[in-house]
């Protein structure tokens, strides 16, 4: 597996492959790879001739009081996992490589889609995500790009950007990968101590309760949200950031009673660690 640290190196690697008509899959990550990323890499390796995993802790998507400095940086083990799951190259640029000047171009999706859910408490987050993902798309020009449903709002925002900017690629949004006990895999799970790790199970438990009610015919979003809150509030270490329901695609206000597909998304602080999880209520259920 090849490690590229510069844009020029990656482009030089990909150019002959494209000339030969080979397909390229891109898996953008911030590193600290876990089985969730592994499933994206494996999907890309199955569906493309060549898979590139980008590992870049993107400073522009972190707010001033967020965990940029503490974010785990584990390039060596990331390369090992990427290779094991079938990646052909890892692209790990420096901050200066990706943001060479203080004067810079932003790519921003505006409107409710970036203001609701995580956008409420992280007002600059999605602008940072779309800016870096657009750069990665322009550098690697992938045929397919892979993201996880765990970051459901991110996936919706990137879908919007791809459509609006006419990126010529296929977005593949892959299902949430969970631990055996239900906790959604996340790089931030490593911050949890044993007690918090146990407490964090309230997230998937609360979504399962909503799914159960939905399966039994409940279509009132307020009732479903209240049921989720009740489960979360019963956990002393949990502090709710949001519990919300929006119609997908697009994160529009949901119909009442609910029809079609709706995203039930939650963000909860367990100790100092903010975790997110979600389930799509409708034809497809992912929890």
Catalytic positions, written as ranges: 37
Task: Tell me the closest approach of the beta carbon of residue 250 to ligand PAF, in angstroms.
Answer: 19
- Nearer Cβ to ligand PAF (129/184): 129
Cis before 212 (ω within 30): no
Task: Tell me the closest approach of the beta carbon of residue 208 to ligand PAF, in angstroms.
Answer: 24
Task: Tell me the closest approach of the beta carbon of residue 227 to ligand PAF, in angstroms.
Answer: 28
The answer to whether 267 and 118 have CB atoms below 8 angstroms apart is yes
The answer to whether 287 and 264 have CB atoms below 8 angstroms apart is no
The answer to whether 248 and 265 have CB atoms below 8 angstroms apart is no
Phi, psi at 142, each rounded to 5°: -70, 155
The answer to whether 136 and 161 have CB atoms below 8 angstroms apart is no
CB-facing half-sphere around the CA of 124: CA atoms within 13 A: 12
Distance CA(78)–CA(179), nearest Å, equals 19
- Nearer Cβ to ligand PAF (61/204): 61
Q: Which one, of 151, 161, 55, 144, lies nearest residue 98 by Cα?
A: 55
The answer to whether 272 and 262 have CB atoms below 8 angstroms apart is no
Task: Tell me the closest approach of the beta carbon of residue 101 to ligand PAF, in angstroms.
Answer: 19
Task: Tell me the closest approach of the beta carbon of residue 31 to ligand PAF, in angstroms.
Answer: 8
- Nearer Cβ to ligand PAF (154/262): 154
- Nearer Cβ to ligand PAF (48/58): 58
Distance CA(266)–CA(118), nearest Å, equals 9
- Nearer Cβ to ligand PAF (30/41): 30
E runs forming strands in 136-226: 144-148, 170-174
Site residues for ligand PAF per CB under 6 A: 28-30, 58, 61, 129, 132-133, 151, 154
User: Dihedral of CA 102/103/108/112: which sign?
Assistant: positive
Task: Tell me the closest approach of the beta carbon of residue 245 to ligand PAF, in angstroms.
Answer: 22
Distance CA(89)–CA(76), nearest Å, equals 13
The two structure tokens encoding residue 5: 């640290």
- Nearer Cβ to ligand PAF (34/225): 34
């Amino acid at each position: 597996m090849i490690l590229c640290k510069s844009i020029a190196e990656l482009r030089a690697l990909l150019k002959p492959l494209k000339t030969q008509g080979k397909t390229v899959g891109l898996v953008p990550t911030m590193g600290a790879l876990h089985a969730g990323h592994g499933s994206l890499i494996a999907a890309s390796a199955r569906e493309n001739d060549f898979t590139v995993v980008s590992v870049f802790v993107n400073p522009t998507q972190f707010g001033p009081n967020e965990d940029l400095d503490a974010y785990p940086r584990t390039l060596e083990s990331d390369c090992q996992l990427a290779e094991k799951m079938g990646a052909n190259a890892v692209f790990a640029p420096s901050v200066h490589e990706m943001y060479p000047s203080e004067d810079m171009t932003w790519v921003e999706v505006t409107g409710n889609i970036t203001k609701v859910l995580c956008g409420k408490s992280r007002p600059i987050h999605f602008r940072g995500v779309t800016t870096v993902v657009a750069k990665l798309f322009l550098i690697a020009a992938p045929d397919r790009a892979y993201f996880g449903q765990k970051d459901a709002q991110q996936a919706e925002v990137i879908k919007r950007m791809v459509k609006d900017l006419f990126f010529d690629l296929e977005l593949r949004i892959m299902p949430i990968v969970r631990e055996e006990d239900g906790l959604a895999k996340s790089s931030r799970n490593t911050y949890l101590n044993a007690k918090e790790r146990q407490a964090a199970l309230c997230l998937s438990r609360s979504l399962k309760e909503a799914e159960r009610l939905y399966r039994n015919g409940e279509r009132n979003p307020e009732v479903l949200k209240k049921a989720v809150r009740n489960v979360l509030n019963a956990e002393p270490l949990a502090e709710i950031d949001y519990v919300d329901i929006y119609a997908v695609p697009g994160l529009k206000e949901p119909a009442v009673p609910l029809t079609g597909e709706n995203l039930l998304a939650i963000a909860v602080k367990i100790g100092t660690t903010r975790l997110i999880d979600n389930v799509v209520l409708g034809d497809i259920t992912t929890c």
